């Protein structure tokens, strides 16, 4: 199917940028005029989008609707789901 | 409304089954200071909040807590998935196993099913934000307790992440509280002790 170790590594890239963006998102909720945070937030969003596109091209969709869905076969259901361990 | 992202906020990949650890960690799934409670509290309080900051922050943190609930559920699931019946039988998970097998059911470490009686919505912005500050400290304390009894490095890594998020939420709620009080304008302030 695909290499588990590579999938874990590629997903960590998406998780890393999504998390950084979300943390900045919360910070901006209480610091709405902080220019540095606004700049960092845009940068993290761009990185997260790019990482997600790269991941989805190899392994399938991470979000519904605008996802990298397959027009031949409904691929949203494919394993693994987030709680599945890839260690064994 | 809610959209689902098909990945955990922080990875959970557990190598060693440990039903005893699962019986402790499950308290952050269905216990009084756990993630369902946090999420339900914040997503419920936001309706009666007076300003954009409090409405938005409660929505955003409430949403993040659902992601944490998923992580705790994943931990419990992975810790029990490959455990043998003997391992389970000889752990505090034994009685839980009778009613729930290796399923994930919202219950505290002492076996009490989740109850909303553990959370408060006063409909009063200051009372509610104070409740949230306490909630984040209580959750942080529970994660501290879990760390005291856990020596599996894969599990510790995830618990430390969740604990750190509680500290950040505490800081954000403190800032939000200032927007509904008449607080002096300071450039920076910290809700907790520096250590």
- Please identify which residue in the block is written with the tokens 């009084």: B32
What are residue B190's phi and psi, to 5 degrees?
A: -120, 130
Please compute the mean of the pLDDT values over residues B103-125 and round it to a whole number.
97
Confidence at B52, pLDDT banded by 50, 70, 90: very high
Q: Give pLDDT tens digits for A26-76.
A: 999 999 999 999 999 999 999 999 999 999 999 999 998 866 677 788 889
Residue A78 in contact with partner chain B when CB distance is under 8 A: no
Distance from CA of B151 to the nearest CA of A (A): 19
Q: Note the ipTM here.
A: 0.94
Residues B126 and B13: their CA atoms lie apart, in Å, by: 40
Which residues of chain B have a Cβ shorter than 8 Å from any chain A Cβ?
3-15, 53, 56-57, 60-61, 64, 70, 73-74, 77-78, 81-82, 168-169, 172, 175-176, 179
Task: Inspect the interface and report whether the beta carbons of B175 and A30 lie closer than 8 Å.
Answer: yes
State both tokens at B17: 């089954």
Confidence at A87, pLDDT banded by 50, 70, 90: low
- Please identify which residue in the block is written with the tokens 């216990």: B31
| Interacting residues of B180 by C-beta distance below 8 A, sequence separation 6+ | B50, B51, B54, B125, B126, B129
Question: Which 3 state secondary structure label does DSSP give B113?
Answer: strand
Residues B71 and B103: their CA atoms lie apart, in Å, by: 15
For residue A65, give the DSSP letter: S
Residue A51 in contact with partner chain B when CB distance is under 8 A: no
At A67 the pLDDT is 66
Residue A87 in contact with partner chain B when CB distance is under 8 A: yes
Upstream peptide bond of B149 is cis (omega within 30 degrees of 0)? no
Please compute the mean of the pLDDT values over residues B55-77 and round it to a whole number.
98
Selecting from A22, A27, A82 the residue whose C-beta is nearest the C-beta of B6 gives: A82
Number of H-type helices and E-type strands within chain A: 2, 0
Confidence at B195, pLDDT banded by 50, 70, 90: low
Selecting from B12, B60, B82 the residue whose C-beta is nearest the C-beta of A29 gives: B60
């Amino acid at each position: 199917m695909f290499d588990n170790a590579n999938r874990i590594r590629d997903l960590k890239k998406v998780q890393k940028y999504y998390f950084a963006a979300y943390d900045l998102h919360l910070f901006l909720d209480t610091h709405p005029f902080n220019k540095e945070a606004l700049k960092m937030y845009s940068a993290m969003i761009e990185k997260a989008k790019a990482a997600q596109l790269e991941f989805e091209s190899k392994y399938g969709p991470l979000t519904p609707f605008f996802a990298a869905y397959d027009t031949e076969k409904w691929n949203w259901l494919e394993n693994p789901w987030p709680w599945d361990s890839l260690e064994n | 409304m809610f959209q689902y992202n098909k990945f955990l906020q922080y990875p959970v990949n557990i190598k060693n089954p440990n039903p005893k650890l699962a019986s402790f960690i499950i308290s952050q799934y269905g216990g009084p200071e756990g993630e369902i409670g946090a999420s339900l509290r914040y997503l419920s309080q936001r309706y009666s909040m007076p300003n954009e900051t409090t409405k938005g922050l409660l929505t955003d943190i409430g949403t993040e807590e659902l992601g944490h609930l998923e992580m705790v559920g994943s931990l419990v699931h992975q810790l029990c998935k490959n455990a043998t019946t003997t391992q389970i039988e000889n752990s505090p998970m034994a009685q839980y196993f009778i009613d729930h097998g290796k399923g994930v059911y919202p219950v505290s470490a002492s076996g009490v099913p989740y109850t909303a009686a553990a959370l408060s919505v006063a409909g009063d912005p200051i009372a509610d934000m104070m409740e949230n500050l306490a909630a984040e400290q209580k959750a942080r304390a529970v994660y501290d307790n879990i760390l005291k009894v856990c020596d599996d490095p894969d599990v510790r890594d995830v618990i430390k992440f969740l604990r750190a998020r509680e500290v950040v939420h505490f800081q954000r709620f403190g800032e939000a509280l200032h927007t509904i009080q008449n607080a002096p304008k300071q450039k920076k302030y910290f809700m907790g002790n520096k250590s």
